[in-house]
């Protein structure tokens, strides 16, 4: 494998540099003195920010972009072997790395690399941890899978030994990382276009846990079924967190919390208990019980790093979320518009349950399914989860990397939801959805646009009308 030499910065090219994770790594290398360039399909706010930093960005991926002056090319798992820049890299025999391999090499330059994993909640928990470390003046380097307002983006280059990064399980990319502290928030079925089943996914998370050295630590959600199977064979310290006192194996969790109340916007307060017999009250400024679970992992990490509890309490209270995580977009005609990235049944359930405690008359959910594989695999679960909304509107499935529709469509999901006795509408275009909502949403309603694709445009377009 090609090794990046941080003592002798070279020329590195990123294919798909406008992606949220790729752009962050590109910025880290640029700040370290590397000659960074890359390509993306279209111009965006992210690519414009990169260009302001002196990074050359090509729009359109072409064979000619890959020149002999490039020392290494970085790809994501989304790049196919027929991509012209991939073809050029192979034919010119230029060394290459995956995004995860590069991230793993970057982590090796820090004394305390921290990787945050889980099927859900990675971005929010990474952001919570980031807020705590920033509030504690630790000057961390951060790589987040979403935009954090505090740092004005998804990347921050610090000067300390702390490096915090999300660890994504898709294509086993997190197995290329080099963490000393790891967090596993949850393990559920997802990415079934890559993994065979839940056992395959659990095996991958076990391998992630095994990456941690004897001097390291794993913080794991003790509510994960048979979580000891994930930690078996690890040589590091293991800390458990749970929303109740007991873990799935009946043992007492090292950290657990009880929700005491919610404010008028669904923000929970909870009483934390830890192994030292300490009890502290925390109040979050993000909605939903799922964010209490995220916060517990962040608190355990903060304690492990020796951060004063009072700093953690304040940092979590001050944290108001990241882009596309129950993000308030605005209000039009008395209708409140929220946008959320949820694209898995468990995430949808968590978001819509959180919305129940948010002021509203009628709860509308505009959902854009993400990939045919995921939609088909969880069709029934999607129908049940979305039925927590009063009224559901479906957009076409966002294909992403897929080309085979597997014989399904959003119409299929609509029929599943209607069979459960819930009101559901489907429109093939965003314009039709927007027109329908303009006519049917009334003052006091709550409208959530939901999905991992471009469904957020619907809310943004409504706010312009």
Catalytic residues: 122-123, 166
Instruction: Report the alpha-carbon angle 209-212-213, nearest 5.
Output: 145
Identify whether the C-beta of residue 284 lies closer than 8 Å to the C-beta of residue 316. yes
- Give the chain's end-to-end CA distance (angstroms, integer): 53
- Which tokens sit at 200? 């395959």
Q: Which residue has the tokens 């000057």?
A: 139
C-beta neighbour count of 62 within 10 angstroms: 12
**Does residue 319 sit in helix, strand or coil?**
coil
- Residue of 175, 181, 241 lying closest to 216 (CA atoms): 181
- Residue of 88, 398, 67 lying closest to 75 (CA atoms): 88
CA gap 3, 95 in Å, rounded: 9
- Residue of 90, 25, 43, 36 lying closest to 63 (CA atoms): 90
Identify whether the C-beta of residue 456 lies closer than 8 Å to the C-beta of residue 325. no
């Amino acid at each position: 494998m090609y090794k990046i030499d941080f003592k002798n910065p070279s020329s590195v090219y990123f294919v798909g540099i406008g992606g949220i994770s790729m752009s962050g790594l590109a910025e880290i290398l640029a700040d370290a003195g590397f000659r960074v360039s890359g390509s993306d399909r279209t111009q965006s706010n992210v690519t414009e920010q990169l260009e302001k930093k002196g990074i050359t960005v090509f729009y359109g991926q072409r064979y000619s972009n890959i020149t002999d002056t490039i020392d290494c090319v970085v790809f994501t798992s989304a790049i196919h072997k027929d991509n012209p820049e991939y073809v050029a890299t192979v034919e010119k025999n230029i060394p290459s790395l995956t995004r995860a391999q590069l991230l793993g090499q970057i982590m090796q330059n820090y004394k305390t690399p921290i990787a945050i994993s889980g099927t859900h909640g990675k971005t929010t928990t990474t952001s919570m941890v980031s807020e705590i470390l920033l509030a504690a003046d630790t000057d961390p380097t951060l790589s987040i899978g979403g935009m954090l307002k505090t740092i004005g983006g998804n990347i921050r280059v610090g000067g300390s030994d702390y490096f915090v990064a999300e660890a994504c399980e898709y294509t086993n990319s997190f197995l290329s990382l080099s963490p000393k502290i790891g967090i596993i928030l949850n393990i559920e079925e997802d990415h079934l276009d890559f993994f065979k089943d839940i056992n395959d996914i659990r095996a991958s998370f076990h391998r992630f846990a095994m990456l941690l050295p004897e001097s390291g630590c794993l913080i794991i959600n003790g509510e994960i079924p048979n979580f000891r199977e994930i930690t078996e064979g690890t040589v590091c310290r293991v800390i458990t967190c749970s929303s109740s006192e007991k873990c799935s194996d009946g043992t007492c969790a090292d950290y657990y919390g009880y929700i005491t109340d919610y404010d008028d916007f669904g923000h929970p307060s909870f009483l934390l208990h830890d192994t030292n017999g300490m009890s502290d009250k925390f109040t979050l400024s993000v909605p939903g019980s799922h964010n209490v679970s995220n916060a517990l992992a962040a608190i355990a990490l903060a304690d492990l790093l020796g951060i004063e509890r009072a700093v953690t309490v304040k940092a979590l209270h001050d944290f108001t979320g990241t882009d596309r995580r129950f993000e308030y977009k605005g209000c039009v005609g008395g209708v409140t518009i929220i946008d959320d990235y949820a694209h898995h049944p468990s995430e949808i359930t968590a978001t819509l349950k959180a919305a129940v405690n948010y002021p509203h008359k009628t709860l509308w959910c505009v959902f854009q399914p993400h990939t045919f594989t995921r939609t088909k695999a969880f069709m029934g679960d999607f129908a049940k989860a979305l039925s927590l909304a009063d009224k559901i509107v479906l957009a076409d499935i966002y294909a992403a990397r897929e080309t085979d529709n597997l014989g399904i469509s959003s119409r299929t999901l609509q029929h599943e939801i209607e069979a459960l006795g819930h009101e559901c509408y489907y429109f093939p275009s965003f314009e039709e959805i927007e027109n329908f909502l303009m006519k049917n949403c009334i003052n006091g309603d709550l409208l959530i646009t939901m999905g991992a694709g471009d469904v957020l445009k619907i809310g943004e377009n409504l706010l312009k009308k």
